[in-house]
Amino acid sequence: MLREPSTDGRFGEFGGRFVPETLVPACLELERAFHDAWNDALFRSELNDLFAQYAGRPSIITECHNLGAQLGIRLVLKREDLNHTGSHKINNVLGQALLAKRMGKKRIVAETGAGQHGVASATAAALLGLECKVYMGEKDIERQALNVFRMRLLGAEVVPAVSGSKTLKDAVNEAMRDWVATVEDTYYAIGSVMGPHPYPYMVRMFQSVIGEEAREQCRALLDGADPEFVVACVGGGSNAIGIFSGFVDTTSRLIGVEPAGGAAVGHGVPGVVHGMRSYLMQDEHGQVQEAHSISAGLDYPGVGPEHSYLASIGRAEYPSVTDEEVISAFSLLARTEGIIPALECAHALAWIVRTAPDHQGSTYLMNLSGRGDKDVAQMMEILS
């Protein structure tokens, strides 16, 4: 089991609750509400029913015999791509939307960059009868027209963030501003293990279902053994922490793979952003640097505080891979196994491909966090 954060929400020197005075009561209310809900058998069984009957859990594991033989390893995928809406994000938003209802909130606000968390939030809000407003940078709205249409189709209101760089950072600011003004009836749904306490802890608990299932499924497949490597891509870090949580007290090596242009743990320094202290990409003046990645879902300059903590104690490792390695891994999985991965998790596979020659015969468990349908148009341009 991963440890609980301190009472002020710290994982070692990381995390915390760096919010304006006006938001402290809201964070405390949320912390209490989550604690009560998580310890309430009725809430847990309602959530498990949504997982089973709506999201399609448990997700299966798949051993890749063709690619494993080609690489000289055993490769096992945790199939979060098979969930309703196509990724692990549904686990988190179902948990938070159910919590919002339990707290008596009528409305959800969220921010989104590439649009995936916005679509997931709009989905959960539609299912549970909540109003949903999604803040999105004006530039991202142009770049992600299909996801904007999806959100509107699901009944959400999409609001352009027009300040600053007109991207995710600005959408975060505007969503927080909305929350400050409307906290009585509004719930703020964060899309990864980021933000002020209790979000990083709460989102980890909602995603821990991935690791719990995977550990049992792997032990059944591997005659009781655990894999040598547990590998996941890291944007904010929610799919990675979800699968790590099942293996942190085993001898498995935990590997979080970052894009080379957004290596927050690998190349960042500790700083405060989005209500938390964590590793961040900053320039020499301490300004938050924009991250770049072939995958819009990974170009966030920071990382969840618990990953910074796991890196600082040496329990998890955070290598990075290049866009070229990602493109080749994306095609490789499609051709050898008939599975088109999301570009995010192609990062995890790229690291596996790179390291397999040094670990022949080892077993790698990889979190296939999402399906690649959303990325085929972009890949068609890149590959042609």
Ligand X SMILES: *Cc1c(COP(=O)(O)O)cnc(C)c1O
- Which residues contact ligand X by CB under 6 A? 87, 89, 116, 192, 233-240, 297-298, 342, 344-345, 369-370
Catalytic residue selected from 27, 64, 132, 345 = 64
Whose Cβ is closer to ligand X: residue 362's or residue 364's? Answer: 364
CA–CA distance, 144 with 150 (Å, rounded to integer): 10
Please give the residue whose beta carbon sits closest to ligand X in the complex.
370
By the 10 Å C-beta count (0-12 exposed, 13-18 middle, 19+ buried), 378 is classed as middle
User: Taking the chain, what is the end-to-end CA distance rounded to the nearest angstrom?
Assistant: 46
On the question of a cis peptide bond just before residue 198, with omega within 30 degrees of 0, the verdict is yes
Whose Cβ is closer to ligand X: residue 183's or residue 235's? Answer: 235
The helix (H) or strand (E) run that includes residue 160 is strand 157-161
Whose Cβ is closer to ligand X: residue 130's or residue 342's? Answer: 342
CB of 38 to ligand X, least distance (A): 20
CB of 298 to ligand X, least distance (A): 6
CB of 384 to ligand X, least distance (A): 23
CB of 207 to ligand X, least distance (A): 8
Residue 88 known to be catalytic:
yes
What DSSP assignment string belongs to 38-67? HT-HHHHHHHHHHIIIII-PSPPEEE-HHH
Report helix, strand or coil for 10.
Answer: strand
Whose Cβ is closer to ligand X: residue 50's or residue 190's? Answer: 190
CB of 223 to ligand X, least distance (A): 30
Side-chain half-sphere CA neighbours of 132 within 13 A: 33
Report helix, strand or coil for 351.
Answer: helix
Whose Cβ is closer to ligand X: residue 181's or residue 377's? Answer: 377
Residue 132 known to be catalytic:
no
What DSSP assignment string belongs to 177-222? HHHHHHTTTEEEE-SSS-SSTTHHHHHHHHHHHHHHHHHHHHHHHT
CA–CA distance, 32 with 37 (Å, rounded to integer): 9
Catalytic residue selected from 27, 88, 132, 274 = 88
Residues with a known catalytic role: 64, 88
